[in-house]
Structure 1
Amino acid sequence: MLLIPVIDLMRGHAVRALRGERASYKPVVSTLCEGSEPLAVARALCAHCASTRLYAADLDALTGGQAQVAALRRILRAMPELELWLDAGFADRAAAEALRERIGPGAERVVPVFASESLRSREALAACGAGREAGVLSLDRRDGRRLDAAGAWESPMLWPSRVIVMTLERVGAAAGPDLATLREVQAKSPATRLVGAGGIRDEHDLDAARAAGAHAWLVASALHDGRLPAAARA
C-alpha cells in the first residue's frame, strides 16, 4: 500500500486540516520541518515518506478564491520528479485544464483531483475519467452525508481507475480510518484502485487499511506529529 503525503494550502501557508472545518485551519506546526512555507513542507513530507507523489488541496480555490498558482509553480519547479495530485475545486475538466495552463512549466505532472463536492454535473463526472488524461475522483462525505451534486457515489460505471474515499470528519482528528466506507465503495467497483483519506493514527491503522483493500492512503497529521516514523512507511 502506498502512503501519499498531503499538503493543504491556504493564504500562502501549509495549514493543518481538521475535520474539513476550513475556516478554522491554522499554519501547520510539524516535527518534520520549521515553519509553514509550502515548498519546505512539501519537501519534508515527500522526503519522510520517500514519495514522488504529493496530494495538494488548494483551499483558497476550494472556497471560491484564487488558486495559489505561485506556490504550486515553486513546488513543481523545485521538485522535478514530483507527481502532484491537485484538488482545487474543479467543477469540470475544463476548469482543471485552465489551471494547468496558468501553472505553465511542470503542469504536465499535475493530476487533477475531481471532488464530488465540487463537480457540477453528471456530464462533468463522465468527462473526468475519460481518455488518457483521466484524473482522480474523490468521493466526499461528512458525518454520513454524501457531498455529491453530480451523483458520483452511485455511478461506478463512470469512475476513473483511481478513486479517493474521503471521510472529512476524520481528517486530522486521529479518529481511525473509515474502513467501512472503503469496503462499501469497493463492493461497488472491485477493480477500482481505492485511496483512503482521513483518520490514520499509526502503523496499526496502516496495516488495517492495507488488509481492507486500500491501494493507498492520504496522510498528513500523523506525519507532522511524528506518529509515522520514516522507517515505518507503508
Structure 2
Amino acid sequence: MTRRQPLIVPVLDIKGGDVVAATGGDRKKYKPVRAPIFTSSDPVSIVKRYNALFNFNLFYVADLDAITGNGDNSKSISQLLGMAGYKFLIDGGYKKLSDIQHHHRGTPIIATETFMQWDSSESLSGTLVSIDTNGENLISPVPNATVKQILQKARRRGAKRFIHLKLDVVGTENFAQNLLIPPQEDEEWFAGGGVRSQSDLQTLAATGYAGALVATALYKGSLP
C-alpha cells in the first residue's frame, strides 16, 4: 500500500511580535528570522509569502512569550486568525482548558510543556495534544509525569490528534527517527524537530505520521 506523503506544516515561532528562528531549545537565543525567501519577520507577511511560494495554507503558531510567561503575542495571533483562507494550529502556552480561546480558524494545542490539567474529565477531542520532549524525557510542569502517563490520560479524554515536538532538536536538522512516538491506528500525528529532507518525510510516512512541523528546512531551501 502506498503511504501518503506527510503534510508540511510551516512553523511560526512568534516572540516580541516577530517570527523567530529556532536554535535548539534555548529560546533566549532565538532572533527574528532572516532568510532569502522573506523580506520581513512579520507573521502576516511570512504567511502570505509561504502561500505565494508553496501554496501552504495550514500553519503551526507558537506564542513563545506566552509559553515562557513573558507576556503574549495575542495581537499578532489575532491578525493571523483574521486572514481568510488559512488555518492555524495555536500553542498559546495554555495551562488549563479555560485559558483556551476558540477561533473558527484556529485549533488549540494542549502542550505538555505548560498544561497542568491532565486529570480533569473534560474532553480533549477538539484539540491537538503536543507531547514535548527533551531526548527521551517529557517536558512538563507536572512532577514526575511521563510520556506514557500523559498519553494514557489524553487518550482517555478523547484526544485523537497529537504532535511529538522534540524541543532539543528544533532548528538543528538532527532528525531522530528512533525517538519518535509510535502512533496508534486511529490517531493523527505530526512530528516537530529536525525534519530536513524528503527522506525524513518518507520515514515519517512509514512510521505512520500524517505531517511534519518544519521551519529551518524551509528557510534553507532543502524542503519542500
Tell me the TM-score range normalised by the shorter chain: 0.7 to 0.9
Which sits farther off after the overlay, 29-38 or 6-15? 29-38
CA distance in 1, matches of 2:53, 2:213: 14
Equivalent runs, 1:104-183 vs 2, <5 Å: 107-124=103-120, 126-127=121-122, 129-130=124-125, 134-148=126-140, 149=142, 151-155=149-153, 156-158=155-157, 160-176=159-175, 178-182=176-180
5+ residue gaps, structure 2, are 1-5
Return closer, same or farther for 1:128/1:34 CA change in 2, 3 Å cut-off: farther
CA distance in 2, matches of 1:48, 1:207: 22
**Structure 2 counterpart of 1:139, which letter?**
I
- Find out whether 1:34 has 2:39 as its counterpart: yes
- 2:208 aligns to what SS in structure 1? coil
- 1:87: which partner in 2? 91
Question: What root-mean-square deviation, in Å, do the aligned CA atoms of Structure 1 and Structure 2 show?
Answer: 1.8
- 1:199: which partner in 2? 194
Choose between structure 1 and 2: higher helix proportion. Answer: 1
State TM-score, norm by structure 2: 0.87
5+ residue gaps, structure 1, are 101-106
Mapped contact 1:137–1:159 kept (Cα < 8 A): no
- Counterpart among 46, 52, 62 of residue 67 in structure 2: 62
| Identical-residue share of aligned pairs (%) | 26
- Counterpart among 175, 182, 187 of residue 185 in structure 1: 182
CA distance in 2, matches of 1:152, 1:46: 35
State TM-score, norm by structure 1: 0.83
Mapped contact 1:112–1:135 kept (Cα < 8 A): yes
- Counterpart among 181, 206, 222 of residue 217 in structure 2: 222
Mapped contact 2:133–2:167 kept (Cα < 8 A): yes
Mapped contact 1:46–1:54 kept (Cα < 8 A): no
CA distance in 1, matches of 2:172, 2:64: 18
CA distance in 2, matches of 1:4, 1:83: 11
- Find out whether 1:2 has 2:7 as its counterpart: yes
Mapped contact 1:201–1:222 kept (Cα < 8 A): yes
CA distance in 1, matches of 2:37, 2:67: 26
CA distance in 2, matches of 1:47, 1:128: 37
CA distance in 2, matches of 1:34, 1:128: 42
> Which runs of structure 1 show a deviation greater than 4 angstroms over 4 or more consecutive aligned residues?
none
Shift of 1:26: 0.6
Number of aligned pairs? Answer: 212
